[in-house]
């Protein structure tokens, strides 16, 4: 070997020999393997056959459309992105024998609060409640149609989606202000909050309507807008929903 590679260091030649032996051993071992361990098409087909042999439990939401008018209501409601079987369970057997096999109908509050109990990690606009104080003695379906769960009345202070802010504002100096005092929320914001945004104040003069030295709001703390904070926006120093903590 050395006379064929005269210009290479002896250590490198030895390394190449070891590498060559390993590669040759790999091909030898591969040649001894059965075809099903080498051919990926056989691998894929065996996986498909194994999965296809599993019993089918779910029918899919489209199967509900033929018999249940609730499907049409759900399709245009707030639960339109949920499969019927998310709440009613696997329904394949029900579609084959609807007279005897009935789907599960969740009626307890504990089912709905799995998704709607307040959790700050959930996306903005997702309806959330505190189940301890939100109509604690009634099942959710007594006020909300499960297939299109619009609230029977507009939630006060936007707390259906902004529960954390509502709780904070409830103990702040702005407690008596309606959310619409500072924000304009179009109807589209209630349906698509990420697409249709509520407006927020954009300049110091907005806060100055109540807090400027010449403002008519007697109960509100007053400041001189020309010297107080100068170039900074008010909410860069004061949190609007709890302005006392700054």
Of 85, 118, 152, the one marking the end of a domain is: 152
Torsion angles phi and psi, residue 80, rounded to 5: -65, -25
Q: Is the pLDDT of residue 4 over 60?
A: no
68 and 145 housed in the same domain: yes
**pLDDT reading at 245 higher than 70:** no
The predicted-structure confidence for 132-157, as pLDDT tens digits, reads as follows 878 877 889 888 899 988 776 655 55
Residues 188, 237: Cα–Cα separation, whole Å: 31
Tokens found for residue 178: 């309606």
Helix (H/G/I), strand (E/B), else coil: 223? strand
Of 189, 174, 148, 177, residue with least CA distance to 242? 174
Please say whether the beta carbons of 194 and 177 come within 8 A.
no
* Within a domain: 23: no
- Does 165 map to a domain? yes
115 and 144 in a single domain? The answer is yes
CA dihedral 163, 167, 173, 177 (to 10 degrees): 40
Tally of domains within the chain: 2
Residue ranges making up the domain that contains 232? 158-246
Q: What is the pLDDT of residues 144-198, one digit of tens each?
A: 899 988 776 655 558 777 878 888 888 888 888 888 889 988 888 877 788 888 8
Are residues 133 and 170 part of one domain?
no
Mean pLDDT for 85-103 is: 92
The reply to whether 55 falls in a domain is: no
24 pLDDT tier (thresholds 50, 70, 90): very high
| 31 in any annotated domain | no
Q: What is the pLDDT of residue 89?
A: 92
Quick check: is 8 in a domain? no
Q: What is the DSSP letter of 212?
A: B
- Residue where one domain finishes, among candidates 132, 152, 172: 152
């Amino acid at each position: 070997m050395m006379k064929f590679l005269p210009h290479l260091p002896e250590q490198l030649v030895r390394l190449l020999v070891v590498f060559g032996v390993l590669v040759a051993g790999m091909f030898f071992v591969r040649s001894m393997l059965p075809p099903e361990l080498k051919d990926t098409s056989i691998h894929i087909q065996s996986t498909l056959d194994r999965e296809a042999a599993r019993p089918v439990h779910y029918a899919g939401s489209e199967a509900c459309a033929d018999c249940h008018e609730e499907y049409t209501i759900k399709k245009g409601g707030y639960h339109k992105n949920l499969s019927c079987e998310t709440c009613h369970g696997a329904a394949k057997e029900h579609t084959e024998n609807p007279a005897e096999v009935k789907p599960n109908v969740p009626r307890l509050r504990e089912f709905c609060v799995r998704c709607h109990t307040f959790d700050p990690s959930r996306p903005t606009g997702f309806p959330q409640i505190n189940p301890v104080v939100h109509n604690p003695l009634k099942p959710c379906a007594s006020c909300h149609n499960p297939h299109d769960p619009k609230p029977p009345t507009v939630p006060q202070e936007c707390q259906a989606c902004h529960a954390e802010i509502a709780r904070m504002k409830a103990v702040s100096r702005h407690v008596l202000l309606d959310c619409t005092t500072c924000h304009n929320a179009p109807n589209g914001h209630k349906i698509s909050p990420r697409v249709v945004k509520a407006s927020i104040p954009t300049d110091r003069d907005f806060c100055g309507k109540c807090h400027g030295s010449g403002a008519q709001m007697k109960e509100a703390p007053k400041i001189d807008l020309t010297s107080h904070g100068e170039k900074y926006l008010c909410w860069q120093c004061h949190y609007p929903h709890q302005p006392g903590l700054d």
